[in-house]
Structures are given as C-alpha cells and as structure tokens.
Amino acid sequence: MSPLSSIVARTTFHKGITLPSLLFIFFVTFVSSFFPDSTASILGQIQDWIFINLNWVYVWSVTLFVFFLLALVLSKYGSITLGDDDIVPEYSFLSWISMLFAAGMGIGLMYFSVSEPLSHFSDPTFAEYSEIKRAKDAQLYTFFHWGIHAWAIYGVVGLSLAYFTYRYKLPLSLRSCFYPILKNRINGIAGNAIDTFALCSTFFGITTTLGFGVIQLNAGLVEIGIFPEKSYMYQVGIVIVIMAISILSATSGVNKGVKFLSQLNISSAVLLMLFILTLGPTVFLLGTLSEGVGNYLNQFLSLTFNTHAYEPSVQPWYFKWTILYWAWWISWSPYVGLFIAQISRGRTIREFIIAVLLIPTAFNFLWMTVFGNSATWLDRNEAGGLLTAMVSRTDELLFKFLDYFPASSITSSLAIFIIFVFFVTSADSGIFVMNSISTANAPKSPKWQLVAWGVLLAVVALVLLNAGGLQSLQTMTLITALPFSIIMLLFCYSLIKGLMIDDYYYSKSLSPSTRNWSGEFWKQRLQRILSFKNQAYVEAFIQETVEPAFHELAAEFNTSQVRASVDKPQVAEEISITIKHDSIENFTYGVRCQRKMISTFLVDEKNIPGVRNTQAYIPETFFGDNRPGYTIEYFTQREVIADVLKQYERFLELSSEIKNEIFTDTTLRRKE
C-alpha cells in the first residue's frame, strides 16, 4: 500500500461533507483571487440589496433569539442539564468562560474597542447633535452591537448543539439540531448539506478574520519598531507563526492548548484594561459606565426594534453598522456555537444562557467603556480631533491611542501580544471545530487532519491577502447570514419541540393501573405488558371487563337512591357510566377504544416480540368535564369499579368547595 493510500485509509473525513466543502472553498478562492474587483462589485451589490430590502429579517431574527433565550431562562426547562442529570461539568467555571469568550469576540474587542466609538462619535450622520449627545450615543450604539443581542445569536446555536448532542446523544453537528424535524433523515443528503454550509461558513469567517487581523498586527509591529514597514512579506511571516502555534495548540487538545491560551489571554486583556482605567480619566470612565449601562437598559426595546424607517438619512449608517454586525455575528455563529457547545457539557440550560448572555456582555461593556470613552475623552480634551481623523485607519488607531499613555511601547507590545494570542485561540478552536464538522464528529481523528486544516487556512488567507480578495470573501460570508438566520429560527423550533418531549418523558408518572396494584396476578399482567393490542382485543376488554363493572356499580348506586345509568352507543366503541344530579354537573366516567401510534424504533426492537406494527389500540378513559384520560388496559373488573369510585370521590370533594361553584353550578346555565 502506498503512503497516500495508507493516509486515506486512516482518515476519518466524511466524504459527503468534506469533498463538497473543499470544492466550494477552492472555487470561491479562485474567483476571489483572479477576479477580485468584479467579484467584490457583484457581491457588494447583492449585500446592499439584502441590507436595504431585507434588513427586517435580521432585526426580527435577532430579536426573537434574545426573547427566546430569556423565556427559556424563566421557564421550567431552564433546570434541564445539558447531558445526563448526574453529570459534572468538564471545565471549571472560569476556564469555561475564558474559552467561550476568547473564541467568540476576542479579536474584535481589540480591533473595534477604539475605532467603533470614535466612528459613531465623528460620523457626519449625527453632526447636528451636541458633542455630549454624540459621545453618549457612541457608547450606546457600541454597547448595543456588542451586548446581549450578539451573544444571543451565539447562544441559540451553542445551546441547540449542546442540548441535542449531550441530551439526545446525537453527534456534535448542526444536522443534529434538526432531529425533531427530520428524524433519521439527518444522516442523509439534507444533513450533509447543513454541515457543509457550517464548514464553509466557519472556514471563510476565520480566513477573513485572519487576513484582516494580520494587517493590524503588522501595523502594531511597525509602531513599536520591530518591522520597518507594512508589507506582504512581513504579513506572510506573521501568518506562518500564528498558524504554527495554532496547529500545535489544536493538536494538543482543548484541555491543554486552547484552555491555557484562553486563560492567558483573558488575564493579559484584563491587565491592559486596568492600566488604561487607572492612568486614564478614571472617575469619568466609572461614571460613564454607570450612565451607559442605564442608558442601554432604558433604550433596550427601542434599539431592538428600531429600523430607522422614518429616518432615511440615518439608514446608511444603520446598514453599515447594526445590520452588518447582525449579519457578521450570524455568519460566525456556526463556528462559535460549535465550540461553545463542545465545552458546555454538564451545564444547565439556565446556567448556560445566563453565563453566555450576561458575563461576556458585562465584560464587553466595561472594556468598551474604558477604551472607547477614553478615546472620545482624549479626542475632545487633548488630541484635538486627531484620533477621529484616523477612524478610517482602523489597524493603526489602537496604537495611536496608546501613544497618549505612559510607557506606550510596553502597552503597544502587550496589545500586540493580546491580538496575537486572540488570533491563535480563534484559529486553534476553529481548526478543532472544522475537523469535528468534516468528520461528522468522529472520535480519535489523526492529528494530520488538524494540521491540514491549519495549513489550508494559512494558504487561502495569504492568497487572498496578496490578490486583494479578502473583501469579496467577507462580503460573501455576510450574504450567507441571511439564509442561516432562517436556519437558526428552525433551531429554536426544534429546541422547543425537543424540550417539550424531554419534559414529558422525564416527568411522566406511572400508569394509573400501578398505583394500588399489589403484584397479584403478575404473570397475567406481564403478558399484557408485552403485547400491543389490536382493536378487536380492546373492544372485547370493554365488553367483558368494563361493561360488567359499570352495570354492577350502577346497580349499587341505584340501590342507594342515587340515579346512575350505563350508556353504550351502538356505533362508537365506547361505554360510560353517568351519575345524574339536579344542581351540579353530572358525573361521567367512560372508556373508549383509542388508537395509539407506536415508534418505529420499538417495532424494530427484536427483544420485545409483541410489537408487530406502528398502530395499536388501548382502552382509554374519558370524563364529563373533558379532562385528559388515561389507559386502563391492565385493570381487572374490581379495579375498574375502584377507579370509578376514586374519580367520583374526587368529583364530590371538588363540588363541595365554594370556590369551585363556577365549574359545578348548572342552575344559571339552565336558566339561560
């Protein structure tokens, strides 16, 4: 066997996912590299049309994600564990938060922490506002774009994946989220298509971030004097170093590389933030944090639903920022959601949602206040507008901002280190996720597959960086967010359906026929349990067991001067006993032959010989007050009598209570 054949034989790649994904990746790379301008123009026009005409789809989708997760927190489903009920979380709370945070938004905080607030502050759209209002709105819009709404997008995907993977024992794959809708068809072409979409979306999202981020790193290294200029050759070296460390981290596993780097980076980021907070306008920053959070909470609903339909002059800004952000977060959600799900086993749904929505949001608010408000304060009081003049040079702006603080060379070096490690944590977790998708979550994949994904990321990023095709790739990724937002809405539907079944399954009580059973005649009952009855059997049960019981009981009632009758329609396969009253509702207890659908899995189970088809029949009770009934298929004649008397005793107890007169009093209805 040749070395190549040996490698192919040992691979865990799923052909139905990996091959179409690679073909699409190579096609897009080719088009974006050789026709960058025309491709960017066409895709840009498509994006503009979507943002202008279908922006409401993004708005309503993100809004539904937020309220959907908040409703789950307050619901009874919040206590459900993502896994077996007795499972213990794999990671400590701090490690868990560090990893989900670093994978979710780490690099963006460095890239936009100064540039976004300054962009909003200096945008000509708001030129008519006062300087103070522009500063407040800059913080408000930044909070909005990096707050609960963004993390709700990640939370929906992550929660759906974690729930169906650890609770239903399905593969950690986007296709698993459609199980309540597609059932076993998730293992076919539809499932492959869903995972192919997720793999391509993840690959392109990381590639564009890597490409644009390398430019910022290059600018930072020029700022501190390590590189003499910004050039493609230096960027090649940066990419090689980043991907080499990312591959090493990914091949060492989540428990080692990813976990360690995430904790290291969060610690470094907090150190830099505290430095700016301490040496910057500290009192002003703490005051604006309080005002900013209050303003955000006060404007929450208005921000959530506002599409600026009555303000056409504001809409270009709105499309450029808010809608683009929602599309960007949605396009990243397959990757981030998969990684969050990977590390969230053992958490409850309530714990997952609260942590994912609130903790990163709180940190983002603090971070954006410290950096963003420091930047606007400096621009207004010391820089004389020099910072706002640089908002178009985002890759340099952070380092120019740090020049206004002491030891700028040290802080710039620390910022470069944080950006670098954020890149590594995004890339290594991305490599891990892409291998998981491409193998349909196969266990024990060979490490060369992780290396292959890392090399492919580096090569495509460098090719597009050199050819100028990164913008086209970014635009295409944002366009794909529109169909994926619809897919995410289906995730919500599937999750609700799964949770309802979950609650029913684990909260379902024992059959009424077991409540007072002593174990007598257990062999006969065993035979009944192992057999699923046909219609003729149930009709015979009603005729031979239920009907004699009702007649015997009715006779005893009549002997006691209580009017009771047995009713048996000629056509319907049912029978009932009714105790008639004058001032209160009549009491009715009936039994009918009811059809019941059987799961195909149970039919195929060879160790239960009594199941022959997917349709069975049961004798089910019904009542005069339309309460749900239950099966009495195992009752003897005496147990049927006992059950009727138990229900009649309940009826009399309820009728005796004054507060229940609205249900039991019939005199008023008879007058009407």
Cβ atoms 359, 104 nearer than 8 A: no
Over residues 454-501, the pLDDT tens digits come to 888 888 888 887 777 677 777 887 888 888 899 999 999 999 999 998
Q: 198 with 234, same domain?
A: yes
Over residues 516-535, the pLDDT tens digits come to 565 666 777 676 666 667 78
pLDDT average, residue stretch 265-280 = 88
Flag whether 411 is in a domain: yes
Cβ atoms 398, 110 nearer than 8 A: yes
pLDDT in the model for residue 35: 85
* pTM score of the predicted model: 0.79
Distances (CA, A) of 351 to 347, 358, 359: 6, 11, 11
Q: How far apart are CA 91 and CA 95, in angstroms?
A: 6
Q: Which amino acid is at 237?
A: G
Q: 467 with 533, same domain?
A: no
Flag whether 635 is in a domain: yes
Residue 215 has pLDDT above 90, yes or no: no
Q: How far apart are CA 62 and CA 330, in angstroms?
A: 9
Flag whether 515 is in a domain: no
Q: How far apart are CA 48 and CA 509, in angstroms?
A: 55
Domain boundary among 503, 530, 557: 503
Flag whether 64 is in a domain: yes
Query: Which secondary-structure segment (H or E) carries 263?
Result: helix 259-279
Of the pLDDT bands very low, low, confident and very high (cuts 50, 70, 90), residue 116 is very high
Q: 36 with 152, same domain?
A: yes
Flag whether 517 is in a domain: no
Structure-block tokens of residue 654: 């309820």
Cβ atoms 14, 22 nearer than 8 A: no
Q: How far apart are CA 432 and CA 338, in angstroms?
A: 10
Q: How far apart are CA 600 and CA 598, in angstroms?
A: 6
Residue 134 has pLDDT above 80, yes or no: yes
Select, from the ranges 150-159, 414-423, 610-619, the one with the highest average predicted confidence (pLDDT). Answer: 150-159
**508: which DSSP letter?**
P
**372: which DSSP letter?**
I
Q: 76 with 160, same domain?
A: yes
Q: How far apart are CA 407 and CA 404, in angstroms?
A: 9
Q: 486 with 634, same domain?
A: no
pLDDT in the model for residue 254: 52
Q: 421 with 553, same domain?
A: no
Q: How far apart are CA 610 and CA 621, in angstroms?
A: 24
Q: How far apart are CA 132 and CA 385, in angstroms?
A: 15
Radius of gyration, CA atoms only, the chain: 32
Q: 568 with 492, same domain?
A: no
pLDDT average, residue stretch 385-397 = 83
Structure-block tokens of residue 75: 């619901």
Over residues 548-592, the pLDDT tens digits come to 999 999 999 998 888 999 998 876 688 999 998 877 788 999 999
Of the pLDDT bands very low, low, confident and very high (cuts 50, 70, 90), residue 4 is very low
What is the extent of the structural domain holding 15?
3-503
In sequence order, what DSSP letters do the residues of 552-611 get, joined into one string?
Answer: HHHHHHHHTT--EEEE--SSSSEEEEEE--SSBPPEEEEEEEEEEE--HHHHH-TT-TT-
CA proximity to 202, closest of 21, 13, 464: 21
Q: 211 with 124, same domain?
A: yes
Q: 70 with 143, same domain?
A: yes
- Helices (DSSP H) in 508-636: which residue ranges? 522-529, 535-541, 547-559, 600-604
Give how many domains the chain has, as a whole number. 2
Q: How far apart are CA 376 and CA 114, in angstroms?
A: 9
Of 141 and 331, the structure prediction assigns the larger pLDDT to 141
Helix (H, G, I), strand (E, B) or coil at 387: coil
Residues facing residue 579 across a β-bridge = 564, 587
Looking up residue 173, the CATH number of its domain turns out to be 1.20.1740.10
The gap between the terminal CA atoms of the chain, to the nearest Å, is 91
**633: which DSSP letter?**
T
Structure-block tokens of residue 26: 């190579």
pLDDT in the model for residue 137: 94
Q: 444 with 584, same domain?
A: no
Mean of per-residue pLDDT scores for the chain: 84
Domain boundary among 448, 474, 503: 503
Residue 1 has pLDDT above 50, yes or no: no
- Helices (DSSP H) in 123-258: which residue ranges? 131-146, 148-166, 179-182, 189-223, 232-251
pLDDT in the model for residue 530: 67
Distances (CA, A) of 135 to 115, 116, 281, 380: 13, 12, 15, 10
Total residue length of the chain: 672
Flag whether 180 is in a domain: yes
Residues 6 or more apart whose CB falls under 8 angstroms from that of 593 comprise 535, 538, 539, 542, 573, 574, 617, 618, 619, 620
Domain boundary among 474, 503, 532: 503
Flag whether 512 is in a domain: no
Residues 6 or more apart whose CB falls under 8 angstroms from that of 409 comprise 224, 225
pLDDT in the model for residue 510: 57
In sequence order, what DSSP letters do the residues of 304-366 get, joined into one string?
Answer: HH---TT-TTTHHHHIIIIIHHHHHHHHHHHHHHHHHHHT-TT-BHHHHHHHHHHHHHHHHHH
Please tell me the number of Cα atoms within 13 Å of 506 on its side-chain side: 14
Flag whether 511 is in a domain: no
Helix (H, G, I), strand (E, B) or coil at 563: coil
Q: What angle is formed at CA 277 by the lines to CA 272 and CA 281, rounded to 5 degrees?
A: 145
Over residues 66-113, the pLDDT tens digits come to 999 999 999 999 999 998 887 888 888 877 877 776 655 566 778 788
With tokens 């073909």, the residue in question is 23
Q: 244 with 332, same domain?
A: yes
Select, from the ranges 1-15, 44-58, 149-163, 447-461, the one with the highest average predicted confidence (pLDDT). Answer: 149-163
Over residues 41-75, the pLDDT tens digits come to 888 898 889 988 999 999 999 999 999 999 999 99
Q: 463 with 573, same domain?
A: no
CA proximity to 205, closest of 487, 484, 495: 484
Q: How far apart are CA 14 and CA 5, in angstroms?
A: 16
pLDDT average, residue stretch 147-175 = 91
Over residues 604-635, the pLDDT tens digits come to 666 666 666 678 888 999 998 888 888 888 88
Q: How many helices (H) and strands (E) does the chain have?
A: 29, 4
Query: Which secondary-structure segment (H or E) carries 619?
Result: strand 615-623
Residues facing residue 592 across a β-bridge = 574, 620
Helix (H, G, I), strand (E, B) or coil at 413: helix
